[in-house]
Amino acid sequence: MEEVIEQLRELNEPVPVPLELPDDERLVEVEEELFINLPYGLREFLLLVSDVVYGRLEPVTATDPQSHTYLPEVAALAWDAGVERDLLPICQDGNDFYVVDLEGEVMLFDGDTHEMTNESWESVWHWVRDVWLES
């Protein structure tokens, strides 16, 4: 995990308005909006690297409700597309959603077929390494 965080920090692209990292209090507010607890890996991701901008994928964020990456907004889109309510998106990619379950496993939901694919990653950090950093 530390290597992945270090790599993300090195690759972070400068943007006119930098993103902010949430604190624990903000994440509790997000959980209350979602009516679901954040899996540990997603919580860790949001606290440590959700301010990173890199590549074409834009993972969810938790500080700006006006952002198109704001977790409750992306969750609403994912759930409307057919993602089960106990899964939370970590990233939208076109019509598809990378989602995490309560145990921390990441899976890919195909927005065209409205079904889960066979692709999965052991954790949010494995997804970051294998998908986001490779995008």
Average pLDDT rounded to a whole number, residues 98-105 = 97
Side by side, which strands form the sheet with 88-93? 58-59, 88-93, 96-100, 106-110, 115-121
pLDDT at 135 over 90: no
pLDDT at 49 over 90: yes
Q: Measure the CA–CA gap between 21 and 63, rounded to whole angstroms.
A: 7
Between the alpha carbon of residue 52 and those of residues 79, 80, 83, 118, the distances in Å are 25, 27, 26, 28
- Local confidence band at 44 (pLDDT 50, 70, 90 cut-offs): very high
Q: What is the token pair recorded at 45?
A: 């991701």
Residue 86 is part of which domain span? 2-132
Number of domains in the chain: 1
- Local confidence band at 110 (pLDDT 50, 70, 90 cut-offs): very high
Q: pTM surpassing 0.75?
A: yes
Return the CATH number at 124. Answer: 3.40.1580.10
